Amino acid sequence: MPMTMSISKYSMGVGDRFGLEGVAQLRAFQAAKHRGVAITPVWNKSNREHSLIGTRPEDVRAEADAAVKSCQWRDAYFVDADHIGLATVDKFLASSDFFTIDVADSIGKSASDAAIAEYVADMQRFAGALRIPGVAEPVTVMAASLQAIAAKYLFAVEEAGRIYRHIAQAKGEGNFVTEVSFDEANTPQTPAELFFILAAAARQKIPVATVAPKFTGEFLKGIDYVGDSQRFAREFEEDLAVLAFARQTFGLPASLKLSIHSGSDKFSLYPIIHRAIKKADAGLHLKTAGTTWLEEVIGLAAAGGDGLAFVKALYREAYGRYEEMAKPYLTVISIHRTVLPTPAEVDSFSAQDYVQTLEHNQACKRFNIHFRQMVHISFRLAAEKQAQYLALLKSNRASIESHVTDNILKRHIGPLFLGTGG
Ligand SMILES: [Zn+2]
Protein backbone atom coordinates (compact mmCIF):
# COMPACT_ATOMS: atom_id res chain seq x y z
CA MET A 1 0.00 0.00 0.00
CA PRO A 2 1.32 3.50 -0.78
CA MET A 3 1.76 5.95 2.09
CA THR A 4 -1.33 7.98 2.34
CA MET A 5 -2.92 10.91 4.12
CA SER A 6 -4.71 9.36 7.05
CA ILE A 7 -7.76 10.33 9.00
CA SER A 8 -7.98 10.17 12.79
CA LYS A 9 -9.85 7.54 14.73
CA TYR A 10 -13.10 9.47 15.06
CA SER A 11 -14.48 11.69 12.34
CA MET A 12 -17.87 13.06 11.42
CA GLY A 13 -19.28 14.34 8.18
CA VAL A 14 -21.42 17.43 8.40
CA GLY A 15 -23.26 18.55 5.34
CA ASP A 16 -24.36 22.12 5.01
CA ARG A 17 -26.77 22.69 2.16
CA PHE A 18 -26.37 26.46 1.98
CA GLY A 19 -22.85 26.79 3.31
CA LEU A 20 -23.50 29.26 6.13
CA GLU A 21 -23.25 27.00 9.17
CA GLY A 22 -19.60 25.96 9.07
CA VAL A 23 -18.69 27.97 12.17
CA ALA A 24 -21.73 26.79 14.15
CA GLN A 25 -20.92 23.18 13.20
CA LEU A 26 -17.24 23.50 14.06
CA ARG A 27 -18.11 24.86 17.53
CA ALA A 28 -19.60 21.44 18.32
CA PHE A 29 -16.28 19.76 17.47
CA GLN A 30 -14.44 22.31 19.60
CA ALA A 31 -16.74 21.55 22.52
CA ALA A 32 -16.05 17.81 22.09
CA LYS A 33 -12.32 18.47 22.03
CA HIS A 34 -12.68 20.52 25.18
CA ARG A 35 -14.21 17.42 26.77
CA GLY A 36 -11.19 15.38 25.69
CA VAL A 37 -12.51 13.66 22.57
CA ALA A 38 -10.86 14.49 19.26
CA ILE A 39 -13.21 14.24 16.28
CA THR A 40 -12.16 15.35 12.82
CA PRO A 41 -14.78 17.42 10.99
CA VAL A 42 -15.45 16.59 7.35
CA TRP A 43 -17.63 18.82 5.22
CA ASN A 44 -19.42 16.56 2.77
CA LYS A 45 -21.65 17.41 -0.16
CA SER A 46 -22.72 15.08 -2.92
CA ASN A 47 -22.97 15.82 -6.59
CA ARG A 48 -26.74 15.36 -6.24
CA GLU A 49 -26.94 18.10 -3.60
CA HIS A 50 -24.77 20.47 -5.61
CA SER A 51 -26.94 20.03 -8.67
CA LEU A 52 -30.21 20.46 -6.76
CA ILE A 53 -29.05 23.68 -5.11
CA GLY A 54 -26.71 25.09 -7.74
CA THR A 55 -23.60 25.18 -5.55
CA ARG A 56 -20.09 24.11 -6.60
CA PRO A 57 -17.47 21.98 -4.82
CA GLU A 58 -15.22 25.01 -4.38
CA ASP A 59 -17.97 26.64 -2.30
CA VAL A 60 -17.65 23.85 0.28
CA ARG A 61 -13.88 24.27 0.37
CA ALA A 62 -14.25 28.02 0.89
CA GLU A 63 -16.78 27.47 3.67
CA ALA A 64 -14.61 24.90 5.47
CA ASP A 65 -11.46 27.03 5.23
CA ALA A 66 -13.30 30.13 6.46
CA ALA A 67 -14.87 28.27 9.41
CA VAL A 68 -11.52 26.80 10.41
CA LYS A 69 -9.88 30.20 10.26
CA SER A 70 -12.61 31.96 12.13
CA CYS A 71 -12.69 29.34 14.93
CA GLN A 72 -8.89 29.02 15.01
CA TRP A 73 -9.24 25.26 14.58
CA ARG A 74 -5.70 23.91 14.39
CA ASP A 75 -6.45 20.22 13.87
CA ALA A 76 -7.17 18.31 10.70
CA TYR A 77 -10.35 18.74 8.67
CA PHE A 78 -11.46 17.50 5.29
CA VAL A 79 -13.74 18.34 2.37
CA ASP A 80 -15.53 15.26 1.06
CA ALA A 81 -16.57 14.75 -2.56
CA ASP A 82 -19.49 12.63 -1.46
CA HIS A 83 -20.86 9.86 -3.67
CA ILE A 84 -18.81 10.52 -6.76
CA GLY A 85 -18.14 8.30 -9.76
CA LEU A 86 -16.00 8.61 -12.88
CA ALA A 87 -18.64 10.76 -14.55
CA THR A 88 -18.85 13.30 -11.72
CA VAL A 89 -15.50 13.38 -9.93
CA ASP A 90 -13.59 15.87 -12.09
CA LYS A 91 -15.16 19.04 -10.75
CA PHE A 92 -14.29 17.93 -7.19
CA LEU A 93 -10.61 17.23 -7.81
CA ALA A 94 -9.27 20.68 -6.99
CA SER A 95 -11.27 21.37 -3.85
CA SER A 96 -11.66 17.99 -2.13
CA ASP A 97 -9.19 15.93 -0.12
CA PHE A 98 -11.64 13.18 0.84
CA PHE A 99 -13.38 11.19 -1.89
CA THR A 100 -16.35 8.91 -1.36
CA ILE A 101 -16.17 6.54 -4.29
CA ASP A 102 -19.70 5.25 -4.79
CA VAL A 103 -19.86 2.01 -6.73
CA ALA A 104 -23.29 0.78 -5.64
CA ASP A 105 -24.58 1.07 -9.21
CA SER A 106 -21.85 -1.30 -10.41
CA ILE A 107 -22.86 -4.12 -8.07
CA GLY A 108 -23.98 -7.14 -10.07
CA LYS A 109 -22.22 -6.06 -13.27
CA SER A 110 -19.88 -8.80 -14.37
CA ALA A 111 -16.11 -8.59 -14.30
CA SER A 112 -14.26 -10.51 -17.03
CA ASP A 113 -14.15 -14.31 -16.72
CA ALA A 114 -10.38 -14.12 -16.38
CA ALA A 115 -10.54 -11.56 -13.55
CA ILE A 116 -13.15 -13.63 -11.71
CA ALA A 117 -11.10 -16.82 -12.10
CA GLU A 118 -7.95 -15.11 -10.84
CA TYR A 119 -9.74 -13.61 -7.82
CA VAL A 120 -11.43 -16.89 -6.89
CA ALA A 121 -8.11 -18.74 -7.19
CA ASP A 122 -6.42 -16.17 -4.95
CA MET A 123 -9.19 -16.44 -2.35
CA GLN A 124 -9.03 -20.24 -2.23
CA ARG A 125 -6.60 -19.85 0.65
CA PHE A 126 -9.63 -18.95 2.81
CA ALA A 127 -11.63 -21.99 1.68
CA GLY A 128 -13.14 -24.13 4.39
CA ALA A 129 -14.15 -22.85 7.82
CA LEU A 130 -12.81 -19.28 7.97
CA ARG A 131 -12.46 -18.09 11.55
CA ILE A 132 -12.49 -14.34 11.97
CA PRO A 133 -11.56 -13.31 15.53
CA GLY A 134 -14.61 -11.62 17.02
CA VAL A 135 -17.09 -13.30 14.68
CA ALA A 136 -18.98 -15.96 16.60
CA GLU A 137 -19.53 -18.56 13.89
CA PRO A 138 -16.83 -19.58 11.41
CA VAL A 139 -17.72 -18.55 7.87
CA THR A 140 -18.01 -21.50 5.51
CA VAL A 141 -16.15 -20.49 2.36
CA MET A 142 -16.68 -22.65 -0.70
CA ALA A 143 -15.63 -22.20 -4.32
CA ALA A 144 -19.28 -21.54 -5.14
CA SER A 145 -19.62 -18.80 -2.53
CA LEU A 146 -16.43 -17.11 -3.74
CA GLN A 147 -17.75 -17.30 -7.28
CA ALA A 148 -21.03 -15.69 -6.17
CA ILE A 149 -19.26 -12.87 -4.30
CA ALA A 150 -17.01 -12.24 -7.30
CA ALA A 151 -19.97 -12.18 -9.67
CA LYS A 152 -21.74 -9.66 -7.48
CA TYR A 153 -18.94 -7.37 -6.27
CA LEU A 154 -15.73 -7.80 -8.27
CA PHE A 155 -16.64 -5.43 -11.09
CA ALA A 156 -17.78 -2.80 -8.57
CA VAL A 157 -14.45 -2.96 -6.74
CA GLU A 158 -12.57 -2.82 -10.06
CA GLU A 159 -14.59 0.31 -10.84
CA ALA A 160 -13.58 1.75 -7.45
CA GLY A 161 -9.98 1.05 -8.48
CA ARG A 162 -10.44 2.91 -11.75
CA ILE A 163 -11.92 5.92 -9.94
CA TYR A 164 -9.22 5.82 -7.25
CA ARG A 165 -6.45 5.81 -9.87
CA HIS A 166 -8.13 8.65 -11.75
CA ILE A 167 -8.13 10.76 -8.56
CA ALA A 168 -4.58 9.72 -7.67
CA GLN A 169 -3.35 10.74 -11.09
CA ALA A 170 -4.76 14.23 -10.62
CA LYS A 171 -3.92 14.78 -6.95
CA GLY A 172 -0.95 12.50 -6.39
CA GLU A 173 -1.09 9.34 -4.35
CA GLY A 174 -1.25 9.91 -0.62
CA ASN A 175 -2.74 13.39 -0.86
CA PHE A 176 -6.33 12.47 -0.10
CA VAL A 177 -8.48 10.13 1.96
CA THR A 178 -10.37 7.39 0.16
CA GLU A 179 -13.76 6.05 1.11
CA VAL A 180 -15.49 3.29 -0.81
CA SER A 181 -19.26 3.23 -0.42
CA PHE A 182 -21.86 0.57 -1.12
CA ASP A 183 -24.52 2.04 1.14
CA GLU A 184 -26.93 2.85 -1.69
CA ALA A 185 -26.97 -0.79 -2.81
CA ASN A 186 -30.26 -2.68 -2.91
CA THR A 187 -29.23 -5.35 -0.41
CA PRO A 188 -27.03 -5.20 2.71
CA GLN A 189 -23.59 -6.79 2.66
CA THR A 190 -22.97 -9.55 5.19
CA PRO A 191 -19.78 -9.38 7.30
CA ALA A 192 -18.34 -12.23 5.17
CA GLU A 193 -19.07 -10.32 1.96
CA LEU A 194 -17.43 -7.26 3.46
CA PHE A 195 -14.28 -9.32 4.12
CA PHE A 196 -14.04 -10.47 0.50
CA ILE A 197 -14.86 -6.98 -0.81
CA LEU A 198 -11.93 -5.62 1.23
CA ALA A 199 -9.75 -8.39 -0.21
CA ALA A 200 -10.69 -7.23 -3.70
CA ALA A 201 -10.00 -3.59 -2.75
CA ALA A 202 -6.53 -4.53 -1.48
CA ARG A 203 -5.86 -6.38 -4.75
CA GLN A 204 -6.77 -3.13 -6.53
CA LYS A 205 -4.26 -1.35 -4.23
CA ILE A 206 -6.91 1.10 -3.02
CA PRO A 207 -5.76 2.51 0.35
CA VAL A 208 -9.28 2.36 1.79
CA ALA A 209 -9.52 4.61 4.84
CA THR A 210 -13.24 4.27 5.35
CA VAL A 211 -15.75 1.82 3.95
CA ALA A 212 -19.49 2.37 3.94
CA PRO A 213 -21.41 -0.89 3.63
CA LYS A 214 -25.16 -1.04 3.45
CA PHE A 215 -26.24 -2.16 6.89
CA THR A 216 -29.27 -4.20 7.70
CA GLY A 217 -32.48 -2.16 8.22
CA GLU A 218 -33.68 1.16 6.82
CA PHE A 219 -31.66 4.38 7.06
CA LEU A 220 -34.31 6.90 6.07
CA LYS A 221 -33.73 10.65 5.80
CA GLY A 222 -33.84 12.58 9.05
CA ILE A 223 -35.67 9.98 11.15
CA ASP A 224 -34.62 7.14 13.41
CA TYR A 225 -33.50 3.68 12.38
CA VAL A 226 -36.23 1.35 11.16
CA GLY A 227 -35.30 -2.29 11.69
CA ASP A 228 -34.08 -4.90 14.13
CA SER A 229 -31.57 -3.05 16.30
CA GLN A 230 -30.34 -6.26 18.00
CA ARG A 231 -29.49 -7.69 14.62
CA PHE A 232 -27.84 -4.42 13.63
CA ALA A 233 -25.74 -4.58 16.83
CA ARG A 234 -24.56 -8.11 16.07
CA GLU A 235 -23.69 -7.36 12.45
CA PHE A 236 -22.02 -4.08 13.33
CA GLU A 237 -19.74 -5.81 15.86
CA GLU A 238 -18.94 -8.47 13.28
CA ASP A 239 -18.15 -5.80 10.68
CA LEU A 240 -15.70 -4.23 13.15
CA ALA A 241 -14.06 -7.65 13.63
CA VAL A 242 -13.92 -8.16 9.87
CA LEU A 243 -12.18 -4.81 9.38
CA ALA A 244 -9.55 -5.59 12.02
CA PHE A 245 -8.88 -8.98 10.44
CA ALA A 246 -8.82 -7.59 6.89
CA ARG A 247 -6.31 -4.90 7.89
CA GLN A 248 -3.87 -7.55 9.12
CA THR A 249 -4.54 -10.05 6.38
CA PHE A 250 -4.44 -7.73 3.38
CA GLY A 251 -2.18 -4.93 4.60
CA LEU A 252 -4.91 -2.31 4.34
CA PRO A 253 -4.29 1.03 6.13
CA ALA A 254 -4.11 0.74 9.91
CA SER A 255 -6.69 3.50 10.15
CA LEU A 256 -9.31 1.63 8.07
CA LYS A 257 -12.70 2.13 9.72
CA LEU A 258 -16.41 1.90 9.06
CA SER A 259 -18.33 4.83 7.67
CA ILE A 260 -22.01 5.11 8.46
CA HIS A 261 -24.07 7.12 6.02
CA SER A 262 -26.71 7.78 8.56
CA GLY A 263 -29.27 9.80 6.64
CA SER A 264 -29.11 11.63 10.01
CA ASP A 265 -30.74 10.93 13.32
CA LYS A 266 -30.23 7.20 13.91
CA PHE A 267 -30.52 7.97 17.61
CA SER A 268 -31.58 4.50 18.74
CA LEU A 269 -28.38 3.07 17.22
CA TYR A 270 -25.95 5.57 18.74
CA PRO A 271 -25.61 3.88 22.17
CA ILE A 272 -25.18 0.51 20.43
CA ILE A 273 -22.50 1.88 18.13
CA HIS A 274 -20.77 3.72 20.97
CA ARG A 275 -20.51 0.52 23.04
CA ALA A 276 -19.28 -1.47 20.05
CA ILE A 277 -16.50 0.92 19.03
CA LYS A 278 -15.35 1.29 22.64
CA LYS A 279 -15.31 -2.48 23.15
CA ALA A 280 -13.38 -3.07 19.93
CA ASP A 281 -11.23 0.06 20.33
CA ALA A 282 -12.28 0.87 16.77
CA GLY A 283 -12.54 4.12 14.86
CA LEU A 284 -15.66 5.43 13.15
CA HIS A 285 -16.77 7.91 10.55
CA LEU A 286 -20.37 9.07 10.80
CA LYS A 287 -21.87 10.98 7.94
CA THR A 288 -24.81 13.30 8.36
CA ALA A 289 -25.99 15.98 5.96
CA GLY A 290 -29.59 17.16 6.05
CA THR A 291 -29.80 17.51 9.80
CA THR A 292 -28.22 20.99 9.65
CA TRP A 293 -30.71 22.17 7.03
CA LEU A 294 -33.53 21.07 9.34
CA GLU A 295 -31.98 23.08 12.18
CA GLU A 296 -32.04 26.14 9.92
CA VAL A 297 -35.76 25.58 9.34
CA ILE A 298 -36.32 25.05 13.07
CA GLY A 299 -34.32 28.18 13.88
CA LEU A 300 -36.42 30.23 11.44
CA ALA A 301 -39.67 28.78 12.75
CA ALA A 302 -38.66 29.46 16.35
CA ALA A 303 -37.81 33.07 15.47
CA GLY A 304 -41.44 33.69 14.42
CA GLY A 305 -42.30 36.62 12.13
CA ASP A 306 -40.82 36.49 8.61
CA GLY A 307 -38.84 33.37 9.42
CA LEU A 308 -41.92 31.42 10.44
CA ALA A 309 -43.88 32.77 7.46
CA PHE A 310 -41.13 31.60 5.11
CA VAL A 311 -41.02 28.04 6.41
CA LYS A 312 -44.83 27.81 6.34
CA ALA A 313 -44.83 28.89 2.68
CA LEU A 314 -42.02 26.43 2.00
CA TYR A 315 -44.13 23.60 3.36
CA ARG A 316 -47.14 24.63 1.28
CA GLU A 317 -44.98 24.55 -1.84
CA ALA A 318 -43.40 21.20 -0.92
CA TYR A 319 -46.82 19.66 -0.26
CA GLY A 320 -48.05 20.75 -3.68
CA ARG A 321 -44.92 19.48 -5.45
CA TYR A 322 -44.60 16.23 -3.53
CA GLU A 323 -43.68 13.94 -6.48
CA GLU A 324 -40.96 16.28 -7.65
CA MET A 325 -39.45 16.62 -4.17
CA ALA A 326 -39.60 12.87 -3.47
CA LYS A 327 -38.23 11.65 -6.79
CA PRO A 328 -34.47 11.72 -5.99
CA TYR A 329 -35.10 10.11 -2.58
CA LEU A 330 -37.65 7.37 -3.16
CA THR A 331 -35.44 4.61 -1.73
CA VAL A 332 -34.57 6.55 1.42
CA ILE A 333 -37.89 8.04 2.54
CA SER A 334 -41.14 6.58 3.82
CA ILE A 335 -43.68 9.38 3.85
CA HIS A 336 -47.34 8.55 4.48
CA ARG A 337 -49.04 11.44 2.78
CA THR A 338 -52.32 10.89 4.60
CA VAL A 339 -50.62 11.72 7.91
CA LEU A 340 -48.98 14.90 6.66
CA PRO A 341 -50.60 18.06 8.03
CA THR A 342 -52.32 20.09 5.32
CA PRO A 343 -50.76 23.44 4.41
CA ALA A 344 -53.82 25.14 5.93
CA GLU A 345 -53.15 23.39 9.24
CA VAL A 346 -49.50 24.39 9.12
CA ASP A 347 -50.48 27.99 8.35
CA SER A 348 -52.33 28.03 11.66
CA PHE A 349 -49.28 26.76 13.60
CA SER A 350 -47.63 28.94 16.22
CA ALA A 351 -43.82 29.07 16.20
CA GLN A 352 -43.81 26.44 18.92
CA ASP A 353 -46.26 24.18 17.03
CA TYR A 354 -44.06 24.24 13.94
CA VAL A 355 -40.89 23.53 15.93
CA GLN A 356 -42.47 20.70 17.87
CA THR A 357 -43.91 19.08 14.76
CA LEU A 358 -40.52 19.17 13.05
CA GLU A 359 -37.98 18.68 15.83
CA HIS A 360 -36.79 15.11 16.35
CA ASN A 361 -38.12 14.51 19.83
CA GLN A 362 -40.04 11.27 20.01
CA ALA A 363 -41.35 12.08 23.46
CA CYS A 364 -43.29 15.01 22.01
CA LYS A 365 -46.82 14.19 20.86
CA ARG A 366 -46.70 16.77 18.09
CA PHE A 367 -43.57 15.32 16.44
CA ASN A 368 -44.48 14.01 12.97
CA ILE A 369 -41.86 11.91 11.19
CA HIS A 370 -43.67 12.34 7.87
CA PHE A 371 -43.59 16.11 8.18
CA ARG A 372 -39.89 15.92 9.12
CA GLN A 373 -39.00 13.79 6.08
CA MET A 374 -41.04 16.08 3.84
CA VAL A 375 -39.17 19.17 5.00
CA HIS A 376 -35.88 17.24 4.88
CA ILE A 377 -36.16 16.58 1.14
CA SER A 378 -37.48 20.03 0.24
CA PHE A 379 -34.33 22.10 0.66
CA ARG A 380 -34.23 22.89 -3.01
CA LEU A 381 -37.33 25.08 -2.57
CA ALA A 382 -35.23 27.33 -0.36
CA ALA A 383 -32.65 27.37 -3.17
CA GLU A 384 -35.38 28.60 -5.52
CA LYS A 385 -35.88 31.61 -3.23
CA GLN A 386 -32.23 31.81 -2.37
CA ALA A 387 -31.87 35.57 -1.91
CA GLN A 388 -34.82 35.73 0.48
CA TYR A 389 -33.74 32.57 2.29
CA LEU A 390 -30.14 33.67 2.79
CA ALA A 391 -31.30 37.08 4.04
CA LEU A 392 -33.47 35.34 6.63
CA LEU A 393 -30.61 33.04 7.65
CA LYS A 394 -28.50 36.12 8.24
CA SER A 395 -31.08 38.12 10.15
CA ASN A 396 -31.83 35.16 12.44
CA ARG A 397 -28.20 34.11 13.00
CA ALA A 398 -28.25 33.71 16.78
CA SER A 399 -31.32 31.49 16.89
CA ILE A 400 -30.13 29.31 14.03
CA GLU A 401 -26.52 28.91 15.15
CA SER A 402 -27.42 27.76 18.61
CA HIS A 403 -29.77 25.15 17.11
CA VAL A 404 -27.08 23.96 14.67
CA THR A 405 -24.35 23.64 17.32
CA ASP A 406 -26.58 22.03 19.95
CA ASN A 407 -27.96 19.52 17.47
CA ILE A 408 -24.53 18.29 16.33
CA LEU A 409 -23.08 18.30 19.84
CA LYS A 410 -25.90 17.04 22.02
CA ARG A 411 -27.85 14.77 19.72
CA HIS A 412 -25.03 13.30 17.59
CA ILE A 413 -21.50 13.73 19.01
CA GLY A 414 -22.63 13.23 22.62
CA PRO A 415 -24.28 9.82 22.40
CA LEU A 416 -22.05 8.52 19.62
CA PHE A 417 -18.56 9.61 20.58
CA LEU A 418 -18.74 10.88 24.16
CA GLY A 419 -21.16 8.27 25.44
CA THR A 420 -23.46 10.85 26.98
CA GLY A 421 -27.16 11.38 26.58
CA GLY A 422 -26.51 15.04 25.83
ZN1 LIG B 1 -24.43 7.50 1.30
* Cα distance between residue 290 and residue 408, in whole Å: 12
Residues 6+ apart with CB under 8 A from 415: 267, 270, 271, 274, 421, 422
What's the distance, CA 74 to chain centroid? 24
User: How far does residue 169's CA lie from ligand 1's centre (Å)?
Assistant: 25
Whether the predicted model's global pTM rises above the 0.85 cut? yes
Rounded (5°) CA angle 306-311-317: 125
Tens digit of pLDDT per residue, the chain (422 long)?
A: 445 678 999 999 999 999 999 999 999 999 999 999 999 999 999 998 999 899 999 999 999 999 999 999 999 999 999 999 999 999 999 999 999 999 999 999 999 999 999 999 999 999 999 999 988 889 889 888 999 999 999 999 999 999 999 999 999 999 999 999 999 888 999 999 999 999 999 999 999 999 999 999 999 999 999 999 999 999 999 999 999 999 999 999 999 999 999 988 999 999 999 999 999 999 999 999 899 999 999 999 999 999 999 999 999 999 999 999 999 888 889 999 999 999 999 999 999 999 999 999 999 999 999 999 999 999 999 999 999 999 999 999 999 999 999 999 999 999 999 998 74
User: How far does residue 261's CA lie from ligand 1's centre (Å)?
Assistant: 5
Q: Are residues 282 and 269 in contact, defined by beta-carbon separation less than 8 angstroms?
A: no
User: How far does residue 415's CA lie from ligand 1's centre (Å)?
Assistant: 21
φ/ψ (deg, to 5) at 287:
-110, 125
User: How far does residue 127's CA lie from ligand 1's centre (Å)?
Assistant: 32
User: How far does residue 13's CA lie from ligand 1's centre (Å)?
Assistant: 11
